[in-house]
Amino acid sequence: MKITEVALVVKGTVFGKKSSRIGKILPPEEANKGDLTFLYDPGQNTNADIVITTARVKGKSGVVVQDPKRAMYRLLKHLTNTRIKPGISLRSLIGKGVVLPRQCRIEPFAIIGNNVKIGKGTCIGSHCYIDAGVVIGRGCRIHTHSTILSSTKIGDYVEIHANTVIGEQGFGFIRSKGYKRIKHIGGVIINDLVEIGANVTIDRGTIGDTVIGKGTKIDNLVQIAHNVKIGRDCILMGQVGIAGSTKIGDNVMLCGQVGVSDHLQIGDNVVVYAKSAVLKSVPSNKEYSGIPAREHRTVLRAIARLYKNAD
């Protein structure tokens, strides 16, 4: 790929040798001659002789852009934007009454239960299990070995990565000569444009539904319990755990390993920093950290006092 082609994709301005061709795309510390890298700081050292950054770099060729991270997004999307070829593998198992548009792709060893509805352009990966009555919208991608159980409804353009389980029984028991499971008869609703990472578990509602709002992005290894309601455009990072019946607003960010107790309400635009434990409801537009989670500024002041006289 020529540097001039890259500039068109990332919407930037070429500098240096316009005839340059790109070898590999690598991080600054790994790149060598002929490779392309992204520099958030134009002064950062790299052996790459082709760079995408915010200003011209002496002795190198590249593309000047306003935002290197957005340029990375555009270029990588362009390079990986391969269309899914439609077709139903003869080695898949399709139940009765399944709605499958011609443009769908069902890969080998996928199992599709009775009365499943799948939208146009959706791909079900190899070894996936889609239970009876599940509804999946248009343009979705369900990656290999994922399991989607009954009473689950998935919107349009949802991506679910490998080994994720949606709609399993929640963790609900009563104590009676030991513990007896409470049967969960609710479902799961995943709205449009949600992305769910690998090895995520989203439990069905006990009664009623567990809901994931439009545009929310969920990292790998996240646990979402029964009847949780998550708003629009939230970010849930790795190893977040949310206990049952908690309601989370819009544009909330839960950083890595945050734990949220049950039956709480988290307001809109809240940020909870890594390894925090939210044990009571919190209002909108604030940042929290610590165990138990308190306003982040309060935690920082407490830490400053604690270590004031430390060596």
Q: Domain range holding 241? A: 146-298
Q: Which of 80, 110, 130 is the last residue of a domain?
A: 80
Ramachandran angles phi, psi of 8, nearest 5°: -65, -40
Average pLDDT of the chain is 96
Question: Which tens digits make up the pLDDT trace of 5-18?
Answer: 999 999 999 999 98
Cα angle vertex 262, ends 202, 169, to 5°? 35
Query: Can you read off the two tokens belonging to residue 186?
Result: 């609710």
pLDDT at 125: 97
CB 220 within 8 Å of CB 236: no
Q: Which of 80, 109, 134 is the last residue of a domain?
A: 80
Same domain, 164 and 268: yes
Question: Which tens digits make up the pLDDT trace of 41-58?
Answer: 999 999 999 999 999 999
Number of Cβ atoms within 10 Å of the Cβ of 240: 23
Question: Which tens digits make up the pLDDT trace of 84-107?
Answer: 889 999 999 999 999 999 899 999
Same domain, 205 and 294: yes
Same domain, 156 and 279: yes
266 lies in some domain: yes
pLDDT at 310: 72
36 lies in some domain: yes
Question: Which tens digits make up the pLDDT trace of 215-247?
Answer: 999 999 999 999 999 999 999 999 999 999 999
112 lies in some domain: no
Same domain, 201 and 278: yes
For 160-175, b/e burial (b = at least 16 CB within 10 A) is bbbbbbbbbebebeee
Q: How confident is the model at residue 20 (pLDDT cuts 50, 70, 90)?
A: confident
Same domain, 150 and 76: no
Q: Is 44 exposed, middle or buried (0-12, 13-18, 19+ CB in 10 A)?
A: middle
Residue 75 belongs to domain with CATH number: 3.40.1390.10
User: In the chain, what's the furthest Cα-to-Cα distance?
Assistant: 78
Same domain, 261 and 152: yes
Residue 311 has pLDDT above 70, yes or no: no
Same domain, 68 and 162: no
Same domain, 273 and 151: yes
pLDDT at 82: 76
Residue 222 belongs to domain with CATH number: 2.160.10.10
Strands 173-175, 165-168: pairing kind: unpaired
Ramachandran angles phi, psi of 251, nearest 5°: 55, 35
pLDDT at 234: 98
pLDDT at 83: 79
pLDDT at 84: 82
What's the pTM? 0.91
pLDDT at 170: 94
Report, as residue numbers or ranges, the catalytic residues.
226
226: amino acid identity, one letter: H
Give mean pLDDT, residues 65-80.
95
188: amino acid identity, one letter: V
Question: Which tens digits make up the pLDDT trace of 262-303?
Answer: 999 999 999 999 999 999 999 999 999 999 999 999 999 999
Same domain, 271 and 165: yes
pLDDT above 70 covers a percentage of the chain that reads 100
Give mean pLDDT, residues 63-89.
92
Q: Which of 51, 80, 109 is the last residue of a domain?
A: 80
pLDDT at 230: 98
> Distance between CA atoms of 234 and 224, rounded to whole angstroms?
13
pLDDT at 123: 97
The highest-confidence range among 7-21, 78-92, 139-153, by mean pLDDT, is: 139-153
Domain count, the chain: 2
29 lies in some domain: yes
90 lies in some domain: no
Same domain, 71 and 168: no
